[in-house]
C-alpha cells in the first residue's frame, strides 16, 4: 500500500509497510521501497544534490575567470610585441587600428573576417530571439518546469521522472544557447536565470544516478515567472504600455511570493541540520503560500508559523522586503486593473440584425436627443443596434442612459481616426456611420474640420460605408466633395445645420410658423391627448404627424397629381405633397436623375413605380397608398380596412417593380422605379411673343447660372450702406429686418443661407421682400462676399438694441424681424448664450408706435391666385385688404422669429405665457407660434435621413429655395453665385412650387372661412387653383369665439394636416403650396406682395374673426371703393420717384419722394413726430439700390 502526500505539487511517497531504519543522530529515517534499488539504510543524501549545483556554479565561474585571465595576458603580450615592430600602422593601447601615418583609415583584412565563434553566437542569438518562431517557442517552453518528487525512484520505471529529465535537457539546451549568444559570459553566469538553472538542472542528473529525488531548490523555478511579460510580448499578446506594466508587476510579485514560499516549505519540512532535522514540521506548499501572504500583509493570524531556526531567520528578512513590495505593488496593480478601459472590447454582430456606428460629439444631450428620435415607437420595428464610439469614457449620467437602452445600444471607447478602433466596431459591416457635431463649439470651422477628418479616416478604411455627418458651416460642405469615395448618390449626406437653420428661418419670413411645422414633421413626436378645448389640443394633434415615403399603387397609374392627392386625402386619409421620379437626362455631373417634385400640378401623370411623400401620423397608415386597389377598395369608407388585397393583377404589378432594392426610411424596401411620371414642364418657347421676348433677353442676366435664384451684378458694400437718417427717409414696408449680433472676431453665421430662399427665382422680382441688415459693419463686411450678388439688400450699421436704429428701418412695418447672434458660442454659461437675442426681442416687444402709421402701411399684403381677375369684387386679394382694420401700435405685434441656442431660454421670450421651465421646446408657446427656433430641433434629421434619405432632399427643396447638388458643386468651385443668361432650361427651373399663406376672411374662399370644413377648402383649392393645403395658422384664442379675447391676443399657433371635418374660422391663415404664376409679372397692375406675410392677418382685430357671412359682400364692396381711392394716391406717389417699367416698386432717392411722403402724411391729418418721411409703398428697398440692375 502506497500513500501520497502532496508537497509543492509534488508527491512524497512513503510506504508504511516498508522497513525503516533509525541509525545515528546525524542519520534520519527516509522511506524506501524494496522495488527500488535505493539505500537500504535509508540515509539521506541531500548534500549530493546540493553539491552538484554548487560544483556546477563555482566550477563554471572558475573556468570563465581563468579564460578571461589568460585572454588578458595574451592581449598584453600581443600589445607589447606590436610596439616593437616598425610598420605603417600605429596602434593604441587597446590594439585597435588607427589612422595610418598618411592620415587615411585602413582596416586589416584579417580583422574584417568573421570568425566561427561570431557565427555561432549570431546563430544562437537568432535561435533565442523573438523574431523567429523557434525563438518564441524556446522562450515560451522554458516555463514548463516539472516539480520533481522526493522519494526513491527508478528512472527507467518512473514516467514522471523521465518527463522531468526531458524538460531539464531542454532547459540545458536553452542555457547553452544563451551562454553562446551572451557577449559577457561572466555577467551571464551571475544572472538570476542562470542561477536558477544551476540549482535545478544538475540535481536531475544526480537523481538518475542515485535513483532518488530531492526536493532541493526546485522552487527557484518560480523566478522564471519574472520573464512572463517578455514571453507574452514575444507572442504579440501584450501591446499596450498599461498591459505590459501590469503583467510585469504581477509576475514580480507572484514569483517572489512563490519562491519564498518554496524556501519555507523546504526548511520547515526538512528541519535544521544542526538539530539533526528533528524540529521539522509537515507543511504543504499551499500552507506556506498562505503563511507568506499573511506575513507580507502584516496580519499574522498565528495559525501557521515557522518552527525551524532557518525558517524564522528567513521570515525576519523577508518581512522587510515583502512588506515594502506588498505596499508598493498591490496598490499599483489595483490602480492599473481599475483604470483599464471598461469599454475596450469589440463589437460582436448579431446575425440578421444591422448595426450603425455613431461617433463625433458624444454627450448626454446629443445622445439622448438622438436615441429619443431614432428609437421612437412610431417607426416600424427598428431592428438596428446602435454602436457609439468615442475616445472619452461616458460619465455616470450617460452611462445610465446606455444601460436603459442596453438591448439596442453599446458603447466602445476609441477613436474613428484609429483603424484598430474601426475594426473593433466592425465598421466594414455597419449599415451606416453617423457623425454628430458640437453645435455649441466656439470655433465652428475647427469642428467641421474634425468631422471631415473623421469622414476621411472612415472612408479610407472602408470606402463603401454610408456616412451621414453634421456640418456647422455651409462653406465647409465643399471639402467633402474632395474625398474620392464620397458619393451622395449612394447615401452619403451632409446635414448642414447653418444652411437648414437659416433656411427654416427664411421660410418663416415668407410664411410665419412654417419653421415650426416643418420641424415637427421630420421629428418623431408621440401623440399627447388633451381633453380640454385649448389651443394645445389642436396643436398637439398636428404635432403627431410625420413625413413618410411610400410607392404609389398601380391603381393611380395615368392619373394626374391633383387627382391622386385628392383621392389620398379623402379616401385614404393621407396627405400627398410630393413625388419622386427618375429622369433619363442628367444636366451635369453634380445633378441627379432622381428629381423631387413638390405639388407638380395637372401636367404630371403618374406611371408605375412613383414614390410619394406623405404626411401621416404613423408609418402603417402610409401603406394604404401601396395597397390601394380600385377594384377591391373603391367602396370601403373606413381607411383602416384597406389592406393588401388578393388581386392577382396587383400582385403581379407589384412584383414587376424593378430592382436593385434600396433601403427606405420607414423600414420598407424601395425599388428603383422603372418608369417616371409624364411631365410637361412650362416651356418658355411656347409663351406668347411678348412674354417670350422679355424672358429670353440674352443681353440681361437676371438669374444665376442654374436659374434657381435672382441675381445681380456684384455691388460694393458702400453702395448699400444706409445711415440712420437715410434709412428714416427711405420708404420701407413689407420688408425683412435682420438683426445680427457679431463683431470682427465672431464666427460667421452664413447669411447667404438666409438670403437665398428669399431670392428664389419662383418669385417675380416685384415680389421679393427687401432685406435690411442691422448690426456691426465689421461683421457684415466679412459676410458681404457671399451676399453682393443678391438684389434688394441694404445694411444699416448699428446695433439691434438701439430703438433709434429699429425705428429708422420701420420695424413696425416689416413683414418679419429676424434676430440672430454670432456670439452665442463664445459664452461658457449655457443660460447666457442667448442673452443678446432675448434682450433684442424684449426690446422690440416693448416699443410703442404711432397709430397713424397703420394707414400708411403696405397696400398689397396678399397674392392673386393664378388666372384671377383683380378687378372682380369676388376675386379680391386672398390675403389681406388694402386698409388695415387695426395697425401696429405696440412692438408685441411685430412679427419676430428669434434664434436660440439653449432650449430652456425660450421661457424668457414670452413674459405672459405659462410654460414650465422644464417643458420641452416643441411644447412651448413661442415655438408653437413660430416666434422661436432652436438648432436642437435639427438633431432629428440624423435619424430621419438614415431611415429615409429622401426626407432630407425634400426638406432642402422646401427650405433652401432650390439649392441642388449642382449648385453646391458650383459654390465649391467659386464660393459665389454666378450669373447666367436666360435660356429655356434655366427659365423652366422657375416653374416650381412655393409655400404661401391663404387668408379666409375675404376672397374666393370666404364662404368656407366661417364654419366651413377644412376638407372642402382642401378640395376646392386643389381643383380650382392647384394649391395644396397642408396646415392652418390660427389665432391662439380663436376657439373661444368671444370678442374680448380675440381682440386682446394676436398670437397664432400651427395646426398641421387637420382632418377633413375640421371647422374653419374667418381669421385662419392656410399653409399651402402654390404654383408658379407665369402671368404675375406681365403688368404693373398685378403687383402683389409675397403671399407669405402671415403677420398682416394676425394684426386684424376680432371684427375680422366674427364677420357674418351675410354681411361679407356689402363689406367687400365698401372696401373696394376705399381701396380704389388709396390706390390712386399710391399711384401718384410712385410716379414721382420711379422710372423702372417692370419693377415699378423700386424707387430712387429724390426730392420728389420726400414731397410725396409729406403730402400723404398731410392727407391723414396727423403729424408723425418720430419719422415724417414714411411712405405707403411697401416694396421699396434701399435708396442706394441701382434701379436698372436688370
Q: Which three cell numbers stand for residue 598?
A: 413638390
Q: 1148 exposed, middle or buried (CB, 10 Å; 0-12, 13-18, 19+)?
A: middle
One-letter-per-residue 3-state SS of 563-612:
HHHHHHHHCCCCEEEEEEEECCCCCCCCCCCEEEEECCCCCCECCCCCEE
Q: CA-to-CA distance for 350 and 544, rounded, in angstroms?
A: 33
Q: 665 exposed, middle or buried (CB, 10 Å; 0-12, 13-18, 19+)?
A: buried
User: 1012: closest CA among 1029, 1027, 994?
Assistant: 1029
Look at the block and give the residue holding cell 525563438.
135
CATH assignment, 238-340:
1.10.287.70
Start-to-end CA span in the chain (Å):
118
Residue 25: predicted pLDDT: 39
DSSP string, 101-131: TTS-B---HHHHSPPHHHHHHHHHHHHHSTT
DSSP 757: H
Vertex 980, ends 975 and 984: CA angle to 5°? Answer: 135
Helix, strand, coil: what percent of the chain each, to 5?
45, 15, 40
CATH code 3.40.50.720 region(s) in the chain: 354-491
331, 339 Cβ separation under 8 angstroms: no
DSSP 950: H
DSSP 35: T
DSSP 710: B
CATH code 1.10.287.70 region(s) in the chain: 238-340
Kind of pairing, strands 3-7 and 10-14? antiparallel
Torsion of CA 1044, 1047, 1050, 1055, to 10 degrees: 60
Residue 46: predicted pLDDT: 59
Vertex 805, ends 801 and 808: CA angle to 5°? Answer: 150
Alpha helices in 820-961 (DSSP H): 835-845, 925-929, 940-947, 949-959
202, 172 Cβ separation under 8 angstroms: no
Cα 98 from chain centroid? 68
User: 1123: closest CA among 888, 855, 866?
Assistant: 855
Q: CA-to-CA distance for 864 and 1027, rounded, in angstroms?
A: 12
Q: CA-to-CA distance for 107 and 105, rounded, in angstroms?
A: 7
Q: How many CB atoms lie within 10 A of CB 685?
A: 10
Q: What is the mean pLDDT of each run of 10 residues along the chain (1190 residues)?
A: 37 40 41 49 59 73 80 78 50 41 40 49 48 40 39 66 76 78 77 75 74 69 77 78 85 86 83 80 85 83 85 87 85 81 83 91 92 82 88 90 91 93 93 93 90 95 94 89 86 91 93 92 80 85 89 89 92 91 57 76 84 89 87 77 68 47 42 44 40 49 85 91 88 91 89 92 90 94 91 94 92 93 72 88 90 45 38 38 51 91 86 72 90 90 88 87 75 76 83 88 85 91 91 85 56 92 91 82 39 39 35 43 42 34 36 37 35 33 36
SS3 category, 871: coil
Kind of pairing, strands 793-797 and 771-775? parallel
SS3 category, 69: helix
Residue 651: predicted pLDDT: 55
The number of residues making up the chain comes to: 1190
Kindly report the pTM of this predicted structure: 0.69
Vertex 813, ends 807 and 819: CA angle to 5°? Answer: 70
Residue 601 pairs in a beta bridge with none
- Does the 354-491 domain belong in CATH 3.50.50.60? no
User: 542: closest CA among 556, 552, 553, 528?
Assistant: 528
1010, 992 Cβ separation under 8 angstroms: no
Amino acid at each position: 500500500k502506497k500513500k501520497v502526500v502532496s508537497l509543492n505539487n509534488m508527491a512524497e511517497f512513503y510506504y508504511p509497510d516498508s522497513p525503516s531504519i533509525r541509525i545515528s543522530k546525524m542519520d534520519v529515517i527516509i522511506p524506501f521501497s524494496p522495488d527500488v534499488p535505493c539505500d537500504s539504510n535509508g540515509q539521506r543524501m541531500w548534500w549530493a544534490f546540493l553539491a552538484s549545483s554548487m560544483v556546477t556554479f563555482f566550477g563554471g565561474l572558475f573556468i570563465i575567470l581563468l579564460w578571461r585571465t589568460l585572454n588578458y595576458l595574451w592581449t598584453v603580450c600581443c600589445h607589447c610585441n606590436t610596439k616593437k615592430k616598425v610598420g605603417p600602422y600605429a596602434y593604441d593601447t587597446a590594439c585597435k587600428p588607427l589612422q595610418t601615418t598618411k592620415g587615411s583609415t585602413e582596416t586589416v583584412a584579417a580583422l574584417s573576417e568573421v570568425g566561427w565563434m561570431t557565427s555561432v553566437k549570431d546563430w544562437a542569438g537568432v535561435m533565442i530571439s523573438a523574431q523567429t518562431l523557434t525563438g518564441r517557442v524556446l522562450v515560451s517552453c522554458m516555463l514548463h518546469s516539472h516539480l520533481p518528487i522526493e522519494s526513491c525512484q527508478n528512472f527507467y520505471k518512473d514516467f514522471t521522472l523521465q518527463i522531468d529529465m526531458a524538460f531539464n535537457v531542454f532547459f540545458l539546451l536553452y542555457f547553452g544557447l544563451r551562454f553562446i549568444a551572451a557577449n559577457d559570459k561572466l555577467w551571464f553566469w551571475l544572472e538570476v536565470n542562470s542561477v536558477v538553472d544551476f540549482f535545478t538542472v544538475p540535481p536531475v542528473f544526480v537523481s538518475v544516478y542515485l535513483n532518488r529525488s530531492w526536493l532541493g531548490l526546485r522552487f527557484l523555478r518560480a523566478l522564471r515567472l519574472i520573464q512572463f511579460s517578455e514571453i507574452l510580448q514575444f507572442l504579440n499578446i501584450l501591446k499596450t504600455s498599461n498591459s505590459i506594466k501590469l503583467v510585469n508587476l504581477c509576475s514580480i510579485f507572484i514569483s517572489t511570493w512563490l519562491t519564498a514560499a518554496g524556501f519555507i516549505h523546504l526548511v520547515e519540512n526538512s528541519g535544521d541540520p544542526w538539530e539533526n532535522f528533528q524540529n521539522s514540521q509537515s507543511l504543504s506548499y499551499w500552507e506556506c503560500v498562505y503563511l507568506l501572504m499573511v506575513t507580507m500583509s502584516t496580519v499574522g493570524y498565528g495559525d501557521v508559523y515557522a518552527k525551524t531556526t532557518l525558517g524564522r531567520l528567513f521570515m525576519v528578512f523577508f518581512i522587510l522586503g515583502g512588506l515594502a513590495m506588498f505596499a508598493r505593488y498591490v496598490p499599483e496593480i489595483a490602480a492599473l486593473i481599475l483604470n483599464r478601459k471598461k469599454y475596450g472590447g469589440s463589437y460582436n454582430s448579431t446575425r440578421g440584425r444591422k448595426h450603425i456606428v455613431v461617433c463625433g460629439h458624444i454627450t448626454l444631450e446629443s445622445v439622448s436627443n438622438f436615441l429619443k428620435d431614432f428609437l421612437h415607437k412610431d417607426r416600424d420595428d427598428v431592428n438596428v443596434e446602435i454602436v457609439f464610439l468615442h475616445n472619452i469614457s461616458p460619465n455616470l449620467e450617460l452611462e445610465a442612459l446606455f444601460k436603459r437602452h442596453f438591448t439596442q445600444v453599446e458603447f466602445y471607447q476609441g477613436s474613428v481616426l484609429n483603424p484598430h478602433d474601426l475594426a473593433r466596431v466592425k465598421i466594414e459591416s455597419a449599415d451606416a456611420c453617423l457623425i454628430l457635431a458640437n453645435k455649441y463649439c466656439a470655433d465652428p470651422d475647427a469642428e467641421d474640420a474634425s468631422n471631415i477628418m473623421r469622414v476621411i479616416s472612415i472612408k479610407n478604411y472602408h470606402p463603401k460605408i454610408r456616412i451621414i455627418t453634421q456640418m456647422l458651416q455651409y462653406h465647409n460642405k465643399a471639402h467633402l466633395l474632395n474625398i474620392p469615395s464620397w458619393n451622395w448618390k449612394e447615401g452619403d449626406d451632409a446635414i448642414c445645420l447653418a444652411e437648414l437653420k437659416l433656411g427654416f428661418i427664411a421660410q418663416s419670413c415668407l410664411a410665419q410658423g412654417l419653421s415650426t411645422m416643418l420641424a415637427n414633421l421630420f421629428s418623431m413626436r408621440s401623440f399627447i391627448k388633451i381633453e380640454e378645448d385649448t389651443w394645445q389640443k389642436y396643436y398637439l394633434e398636428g404635432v403627431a404627424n410625420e413625413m413618410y415615403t411610400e410607392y404609389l399603387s398601380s391603381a393611380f397609374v395615368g392619373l394626374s397629381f391633383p387627382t391622386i392627392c385628392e383621392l389620398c386625402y379623402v379616401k385614404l386619409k393621407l396627405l400627398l405633397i410630393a413625388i419622386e421620379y427618375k429622369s433619363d437626362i442628367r444636366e451635369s455631373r453634380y445633378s441627379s436623375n432622381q428629381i423631387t417634385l413638390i405639388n407638380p400640378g395637372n401636367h404630371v401623370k403618374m406611371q408605375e413605380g412613383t414614390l410619394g411623400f406623405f404626411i401621416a401620423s404613423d408609418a402603417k397608415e402610409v401603406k394604404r397608398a401601396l395597397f390601394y386597389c380600385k377594384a377591391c377598395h373603391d367602396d370601403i369608407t373606413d381607411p383602416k380596412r384597406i389592406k393588401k388585397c388578393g388581386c392577382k393583377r396587383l400582385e403581379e404589378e407589384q412584383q414587376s417593380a424593378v430592382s436593385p432594392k434600396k433601403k427606405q426610411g420607414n423600414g420598407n424596401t424601395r425599388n428603383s422605379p422603372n418608369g417616371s411620371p409624364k411631365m410637361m414642364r412650362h416651356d418658355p418657347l411656347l409663351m406668347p411673343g411678348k412674354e417670350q421676348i422679355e424672358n429670353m433677353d440674352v443681353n440681361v442676366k437676371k438669374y444665376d447660372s442654374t436659374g434657381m435664384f435672382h441675381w445681380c451684378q456684384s455691388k460694393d458694400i458702400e453702395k448699400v450702406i444706409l445711415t440712420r437718417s437715410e434709412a428714416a427717409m427711405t420708404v420701407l414696408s413689407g420688408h425683412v429686418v435682420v438683426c445680427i449680433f457679431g463683431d470682427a472676431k465672431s464666427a460667421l453665421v452664413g447669411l447667404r443661407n438666409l438670403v437665398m430662399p428669399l431670392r428664389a427665382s419662383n418669385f417675380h422680382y416685384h415680389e421679393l421682400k427687401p432685406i435690411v441688415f442691422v448690426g456691426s459693419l465689421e461683421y457684415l463686411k466679412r459676410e458681404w462676399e457671399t451676399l453682393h450678388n443678391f438684389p434688394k439688400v441694404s445694411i444699416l450699421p448699428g446695433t439691434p438694441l438701439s430703438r433709434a436704429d429699429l425705428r429708422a428701418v420701420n420695424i413696425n412695418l416689416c413683414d418679419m424681424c429676424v434676430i440672430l447672434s454670432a456670439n452665442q458660442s463664445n459664452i461658457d454659461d449655457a443660460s447666457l448664450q442667448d442673452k443678446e437675442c432675448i434682450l433684442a426681442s424684449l426690446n422690440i416687444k416693448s416699443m410703442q408706435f404711432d397709430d397713424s402709421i397703420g394707414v400708411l402701411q403696405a397696400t398689397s399684403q396678399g397674392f392673386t391666385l393664378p388666372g384671377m381677375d383683380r378687378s372682380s369684387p369676388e376675386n379680391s386679394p386672398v390675403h389681406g385688404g388694402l386698409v388695415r382694420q387695426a395697425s401696429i401700435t405696440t412692438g408685441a405685434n411685430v412679427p419676430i422669429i428669434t434664434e436660440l441656442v439653449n432650449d430652456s431660454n425660450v421661457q424668457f421670450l414670452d413674459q405672459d405665457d405659462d410654460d414650465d421651465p422644464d417643458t420641452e421646446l416643441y411644447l412651448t408657446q413661442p415655438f408653437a407660434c413660430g416666434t422661436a427656433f432652436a438648432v436642437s430641433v435639427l438633431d432629428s434629421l440624423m435619424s430621419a435621413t438614415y431611415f429615409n434619405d429622401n426626407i432630407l432632399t425634400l426638406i432642402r427643396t422646401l427650405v433652401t429655395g432650390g439649392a441642388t447638388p449642382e449648385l453646391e458643386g458650383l459654390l465649391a468651385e467659386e464660393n459665389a453665385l454666378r450669373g447666367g443668361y436666360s435660356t429655356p432650361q434655366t427659365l423652366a427651373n422657375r416653374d416650381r412650387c412655393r409655400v404661401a399663406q391663404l387668408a379666409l376672411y375675404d376672397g374666393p374662399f370666404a364662404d368656407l372661412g366661417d364654419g366651413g370644413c377644412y376638407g372642402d377648402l382642401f378640395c376646392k383649392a386643389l381643383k380650382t387653383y392647384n394649391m395644396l393645403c397642408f396646415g392652418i395658422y390660427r389665432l391662439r384664442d380663436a376657439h373661444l369665439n368671444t370678442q374680448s379675447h380675440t381682440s386682446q391676443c394676436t398670437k397664432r399657433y400651427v395646426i398641421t394636416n387637420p382632418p377633413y371635418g375640421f371647422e374653419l374660422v374667418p381669421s385662419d391663415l392656410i399653409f399651402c403650396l402654390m404654383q408658379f404664376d407665369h402671368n404675375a409679372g406681365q403688368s404693373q397692375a398685378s403687383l402683389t406682395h409675397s403671399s407669405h406675410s402671415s403677420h398682416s392677418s394676425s394684426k386684424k382685430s376680432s371684427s375680422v374673426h366674427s364677420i357674418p357671412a351675410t354681411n361679407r359682400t356689402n363689406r367687400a364692396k365698401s372696401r373696394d371703393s376705399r381701396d380704389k381711392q388709396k390706390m390712386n394716391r399710391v399711384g401718384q406717389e410712385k410716379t414721382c420717384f420711379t422710372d423702372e417699367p417692370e419693377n415699378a416698386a423700386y424707387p430712387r432717392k429724390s426730392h420728389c419722394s420726400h414731397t410725396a411722403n409729406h403730402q400723404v402724411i398731410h392727407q391723414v391729418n396727423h403729424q408723425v413726430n418720430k419719422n415724417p418721411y414714411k411712405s405707403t409703398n411697401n416694396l421699396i428697398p434701399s435708396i442706394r439700390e441701382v434701379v436698372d440692375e436688370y
